[in-house]
Amino acid sequence: MPSEVLGYALSRSASNSDFLDSKLSDAKTSLHKELEKLIRTATPEKQTSWRNQFDSFENLFESYLSTDSQVQWDKIKPLPAGSVKCYSELTNVTDIERIREALGKLVVIKLNGGLGTSMGCTGPKSLISVRDQSNFLDLNVQQIQALNKMYGSDVPLVLMCSFNTIEDTEKVIQRYSQSNIKIHVFLQSTYPRINRETLLPVASSTELDDAWYPPGHGDVYYSLHESGYLQKLLDEGKEYMFLSNIDNLGASVDTNILSFLVNSSVTAPEFIMEVTDKTRADVKGGTLVEYEGSVRLLEIAQVPKDHVEDFKSVNKFRIFNTNNLWMKLSAIKRVVEDRTLQMEIIINPKTMDNGLNVIQLERACGAAIQSFEGAIGINVPRRRFLPVKMTQDLLTVMSNLYSLNKGNLIMNPARSFPSAPLVKLGEQFKTVKEFLSRFDNIPNLLELDHLTVSGDVTFGKDVTLKGTVIIIANHGTRIDIPPGSILENKIVSGNLRILDH
């Protein structure tokens, strides 16, 4: 944790230990008083809910005050043998009855708390159209519909929403009422942003505005339990959960992984993390390591500055977390109720519109791997990781690199490489509206390796991009790629505009 956040060093020598303990106690006491004031601004029927959330937040805040968020690099060790299993080693299960039985124990939970602001959209990110007029939610519903139809199963889809997304999401899921899939939502916690200097909440009431935030997907365990939905699932005979980001279009239910989880021996893992091999585009992704005797998820935010390049090394850390997670529901219940759930804190600094510097305390759901018995990773094919975070990701999923089949994106068999190209689009392509306005239609990317586009660039119809293509329109210039162009291993710069005649 940065020392400047607390206003004093974190060194705990004998001479200043008492002083630091006093400062920590003062900060906790001051926060508690302010949270009690906030609770009193809520309606009586909502005060209990706020108090429960704030109890959890105070525990998080205390950990933030007393724990250094960075790891000690010399304590990181290679993973023990058997910590990561190769997907190809799993049994290819074809017995329909066996698959149906396993699916009967499964619930699919999608993380649906994010807004589409990073791509210039308002409302839930899950409602952005990504392919053939279908949005993320549509594609996830189609995947599970097809699964239930194929195996005669009844796998439900559960969405963890934030206060930013729940209202719009509940409206949209009404249109799936006639489908063969049960869709449920539950609300994750709402926490107060903290003034970076005073370490006190910015909010003056429980009215939800930009003084509040949803605390990351690590909140899923607590919120699932607190909502009562975890117990409801257990009462219905559900035993396992598949959890993933709703914007990862590769995160469909894999019956081989499920069967491995359900049919393992007495030492079956309580937690499975899907990992996959790093590429140049994934150097910042969290990875699995051994740390102080347990398997841990190491995120770049935890890495000391002088070791960041080591962390990014594809040779040293060859896998990264896809955030596709499989867990036993009974184990989640145990670690929450026994208070043995451990996750490192992510300190997310923000600047509000009024210029105030604040911090958000968050946790990543994958970091919980250390809390479960027999937890392992499975190194899965790249097709299991197909996230859409920015418009440059939209370009690949909308292109002829993929076809759409029952909500699943299938890599074009005509492509020579199993992975998607590396694409970097400049600021002029940042929003979905701007992105779409710059393409008459999506180029042919089947043989593309790497694309970089910067500046005022537009693409005509039926453009083909192959190999490595770099297009740079310098300040004050514009480049129009003519219709039908084929660019192969080309660098285009300067000013190029084809006038209509």
pLDDT at 498 over 60: no
Measured in whole angstroms, the distance separating CA 500 from the mean position of its chain's CA atoms is 45
In angstroms, the CA 205 to CA 170 distance is 25
Domain boundary pick from 346, 381, 416: 381
pLDDT at 38 over 80: yes
- The arithmetic mean of pLDDT across residues 401-423, rounded, is 91
Residues 254 and 120 in one domain: yes
pLDDT digits (tens, 9 = 90+) for 222-277: 999 999 999 999 999 999 999 999 999 999 999 999 999 998 765 789 999 999 99
Tell me how far apart the terminal alpha carbons of the chain are, to the nearest angstrom.
62
Residues 24 and 81 in one domain: no
Query: Which one of 284, 389, 406, 424 is the catalytic residue?
Result: 389
**What's the domain count of the chain?**
3
Residues 363 and 452 in one domain: no
The answer for residues whose C-beta is within 8 angstroms of residue 101's C-beta and 6 or more apart is: 262
Residues 480 and 445 in one domain: yes
Positive or negative: CA dihedral 196, 198, 203, 206: positive
Residues 296 and 174 in one domain: yes
Domain boundary pick from 66, 86, 119: 66
Question: Is residue 482 a part of any domain in this protein?
Answer: yes
Question: Is residue 370 a part of any domain in this protein?
Answer: yes
pLDDT digits (tens, 9 = 90+) for 308-358: 998 988 888 899 999 999 999 999 999 999 999 999 898 899 999 999 999
In angstroms, the CA 301 to CA 326 distance is 24
Question: Is residue 27 a part of any domain in this protein?
Answer: yes
Residues 304 and 427 in one domain: no
Name the nearest CA neighbour of 323 among 408, 380, 259.
Answer: 380
Give DSSP secondary structure letters for 243-312: EEETTBTT----HHHHHHHHH--TT--SEEEEEEE--GGGTTS-EEEEETTEEEEE-GGGS-GGGHHHHH
Q: Is 350 a catalytic residue?
A: no
Query: So what's the pLDDT on residue 497?
Result: 64
Residues 31 and 84 in one domain: no
The two structure tokens encoding residue 143: 């995947």
Q: What CATH number is attached to the domain comprising 462?
A: 2.160.10.10
Question: Is residue 498 a part of any domain in this protein?
Answer: no
Positive or negative: CA dihedral 136, 331, 152, 232: negative
Query: So what's the pLDDT on residue 501?
Result: 30
Domain boundary pick from 381, 412, 444: 381
Residues 372 and 417 in one domain: no
pLDDT at 5 over 70: no
pLDDT at 6 over 70: no
Query: So what's the pLDDT on residue 13?
Result: 45
- The reported pTM is 0.90
Residues 287 and 413 in one domain: no
Residues 84 and 43 in one domain: no
Name the nearest CA neighbour of 126 among 189, 176, 53.
Answer: 176
Residues 25 and 131 in one domain: no
CB–CB of 211/193 below 8 Å?
yes
CB–CB of 460/478 below 8 Å?
no
Query: So what's the pLDDT on residue 4?
Result: 35
pLDDT at 26 over 80: yes
* Backbone dihedral angles phi then psi of residue 379, each to the nearest 5 degrees: -80, 105
Query: So what's the pLDDT on residue 10?
Result: 38
pLDDT digits (tens, 9 = 90+) for 139-184: 999 999 999 999 999 999 999 999 999 999 999 999 998 888 999 9
Residues 238 and 311 in one domain: yes
pLDDT at 51 over 50: yes
pLDDT at 387 over 50: yes
pLDDT digits (tens, 9 = 90+) for 120-134: 888 999 999 998 889
pLDDT at 47 over 50: yes
Question: Is residue 128 a part of any domain in this protein?
Answer: yes
- The arithmetic mean of pLDDT across residues 468-480, rounded, is 93
pLDDT digits (tens, 9 = 90+) for 199-222: 999 999 999 999 999 998 999 999
pLDDT at 500 over 60: no
Which carries the bigger pLDDT value, residue 314 or residue 394?
394
The two structure tokens encoding residue 484: 């039908």
Q: Mean pLDDT across the chain, nearest whole number?
A: 90
CB–CB of 487/465 below 8 Å?
yes
Which residues pair with residue 2 across a beta bridge? Answer: none
**Residue 298 Cα distances to 3, 60, 275, 309, 385, angstroms:** 21, 19, 13, 14, 19
Name the nearest CA neighbour of 228 among 191, 270, 187.
Answer: 187
**Residue 444 Cα distances to 22, 80, 441, 466, 467, angstroms:** 64, 44, 9, 8, 12
In angstroms, the CA 421 to CA 441 distance is 18
Question: Is residue 499 a part of any domain in this protein?
Answer: no
Task: Calculate the CA dihedral of residues 84, 86, 92, 98 and round it to 10 degrees.
Answer: 10
In angstroms, the CA 121 to CA 123 distance is 7
Which band of pLDDT confidence, cut at 50, 70 and 90, is reported for residue 23?
low
Query: So what's the pLDDT on residue 18?
Result: 59
Question: Is residue 500 a part of any domain in this protein?
Answer: no
The kind and range of the H/E element at 231 are helix 229-235
Q: Which domain holds residue 57?
A: 3-66
Query: So what's the pLDDT on residue 316?
Result: 85
Annotate 70-107 with b (16+ C-beta within 10 A) or e (fewer). ebeeeebeebeeeebbebeebeebeeeeebbebbbbbb
pLDDT at 85 over 80: yes
pLDDT at 404 over 70: yes
Q: 166-180, 245-259, 364-378, 456-470 — which is least confidently predicted?
A: 166-180
Query: So what's the pLDDT on residue 81?
Result: 85
Question: Is residue 501 a part of any domain in this protein?
Answer: no
Q: What percent of the chain has pLDDT over 90?
A: 75
In angstroms, the CA 41 to CA 39 distance is 5
pLDDT at 34 over 60: yes
The two structure tokens encoding residue 122: 């308002």
